[in-house]
Chains A and B, each alone.
Chain A
Amino acid sequence: EPEVTQTPSHQVTQMGQEVILRCVPISNHLYFYWYRQILGQKVEFLVSFYNNEISEKSEIFDDQFSVERPDGSNFTLKIRSTKLEDSAMYFCASSGDRNYGYTFGSGTRLTVV
């Protein structure tokens, strides 16, 4: 069964450092997303990406965040200057069309110290 692959599974970084979280969506999917889940809280939408541009973003997704699809397979989330409160599980997801549930990756646990 096709999978969404995320790397690394766990990233520890110092406050103020830049991090890049990587995702390989399912190959024939067209819509790409990042979500995050702070420990003990609900899964929150960050950003959606379609046709090589951001289609929607949440209030969380401020200027510190950016997304890129640098080639035909990878989808990345960059946090420019990490803060302690960015510590969370970050999930990448992709979907083929609007009538299917997304497929989520296993997540990257980001710990900012």
Chain B
Amino acid sequence: DQQVKQNSPSLSVQEGRISILNCDYTNSMFDYFLWYKKYPAEGPTFLISISSIKDKNEDGRFTVFLNKSAKHLSLHIVPSQPGDSAVYFCAARTIQGAQKLVFGQGTRLTINP
């Protein structure tokens, strides 16, 4: 059951450039999408989210884009900084139920100086 997929297990980006992390989903009942960042030996940290009624949400260096027709979302980080090196998880939630999150497999982002 892979309702949320992150097809790139890893991504390497130069410091100062843009990092683009991608996520695809299959369940059209998802109404809310979130990105989490995770360092080793820590829990996931909430980064940014987007409701299905929007196509873009921006918070500082982080922007999430949602393309509902393509069932695709992406996280843009610009400019990328060394502290952004972590594993990034895409997650999604359905309208009904108790807010269970379905996570993707994660993408390990490495920012090179």
A105 sits at the interface (CB 8 A): yes
Known: A42-B104, A43-B89. A31 touches B99 (CB 8 A): yes
- Minimal Cβ-Cβ distance residue in A for B45: A104
Query: What residues on B are CB-neighbors of A41 within 8 Å?
Result: 105
**Residue total for A at the interface (Cβ-Cβ under 8 A):** 28
B53 sits at the interface (CB 8 A): no
**Residue total for B at the interface (Cβ-Cβ under 8 A):** 24
Query: What residues on B are CB-neighbors of A91 within 8 Å?
Result: 43-44
Q: How many contacts A-B (CB < 8 Å)?
A: 61
- Minimal Cβ-Cβ distance residue in A for B99: A98
Find out whether the CB atom of B98 lies under 8 angstroms from the CB atom of A4. Answer: no
A17 sits at the interface (CB 8 A): no
Query: What residues on B are CB-neighbors of A35 within 8 Å?
Result: 101
Find out whether the CB atom of B100 lies under 8 angstroms from the CB atom of A101. Answer: no
Query: What residues on B are CB-neighbors of A95 within 8 Å?
Result: 99
Known: A42-B103, A42-B106, A44-B103. A101 touches B98 (CB 8 A): no
